[in-house]
């Protein structure tokens, strides 16, 4: 129905969040008859006619989860005013963790979202990182060339020192880093691997899309047609 990627739909089914004709579904691959069966997600009916394709850019605030529900009642992106009462479902392209802010793409184009997150396309993600101490030359080289983490060797990155910053009693350092994979908490883990604490982490770009300076945390904007085309070109959809 164009409301989620296949991976997300499978997760919803396993969590018992989807029902057909009033009965919760837990079996993957369950089929429906469009226009006949009534499908609900989290108790909300899914329209028989698919909604129009939506491509948005959200400036995710700090201390907000990229998830639909949280057991600890923390704020999620779906608690933000612009997402709270949507008449259709929209999903994030990948995730930003609780303490990471910045550019988060949102769409109901499941195929594009899946491709943008797929490792084979190596879509670049651009971040600004503030750490409590400056990296050594050897540490910078290691992050650029690949680091062995608990889930395997990382791909090469692009890393550059930007400037120093006063952190009260200590002095921190801003870095620019570009990664080409979407592992969980990857940027934080790269710096933490060398015992550097990440003080602030902002995603400023995804593929060819750049976070506008005037887009405030919690606000969103629709992608322009050329931006959508750029994302599709990156993943071979055009």
Active site residues: 97
Q: Alpha-carbon distance 144 to 155, whole Å?
A: 8
* DSSP state letters, the chain: --SS-HHHHHHHHHTT-EEETTEE--STT----TTTS-EEETTEEPPSSPPPP-EEEEEEPTT-BSSS--TT---BGGGSHHHHT-SS--EESS---TTEEEEEEEES-HHHHHHHH-GGG---EEEEEEESSPPPHHHHHHHHH--EETTEEPPP-EEEEEEEEEETTEEEEEEEEEESS--TTHHHHHHHTTT--EEEEEEEEETTEE--TT--TT-EEEPPHHHHHHHHHHTT--
């Amino acid at each position: 129905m164009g409301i989620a990627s296949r991976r997300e739909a499978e997760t919803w089914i396993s969590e018992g969040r989807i029902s057909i004709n009033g009965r919760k579904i837990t079996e993957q691959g369950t089929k429906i008859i469009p226009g006949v069966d009534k499908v609900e997600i989290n108790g909300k009916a899914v329209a028989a006619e698919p909604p129009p394709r939506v491509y948005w850019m959200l400036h995710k605030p700090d201390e907000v989860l990229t998830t639909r529900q949280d057991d600890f009642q923390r704020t999620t992106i779906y608690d933000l005013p612009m997402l709270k009462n949507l008449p259709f479902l929209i999903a994030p392209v990948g995730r930003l963790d609780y303490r990471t802010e910045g550019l988060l793409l949102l769409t109901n184009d499941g195929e594009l979202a899946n491709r943008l997150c797929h490792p084979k396309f190596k879509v670049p993600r651009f971040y600004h990182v503030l750490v409590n101490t400056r990296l050594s030359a050897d540490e910078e080289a290691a992050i650029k060339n690949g680091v062995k983490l608990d889930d395997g060797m990382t791909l090469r990155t692009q890393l550059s020192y930007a400037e120093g910053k006063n952190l009260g009693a200590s002095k921190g350092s801003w870095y620019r880093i570009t990664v080409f994979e979407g592992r969980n908490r990857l940027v934080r883990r790269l710096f933490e691997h060398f015992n550097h604490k990440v003080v602030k982490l902002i995603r400023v770009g995804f593929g060819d899309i750049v976070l506008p300076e005037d887009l405030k945390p919690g606000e969103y904007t629709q992608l322009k047609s050329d931006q959508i085309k750029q994302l599709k070109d990156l993943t071979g959809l055009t």
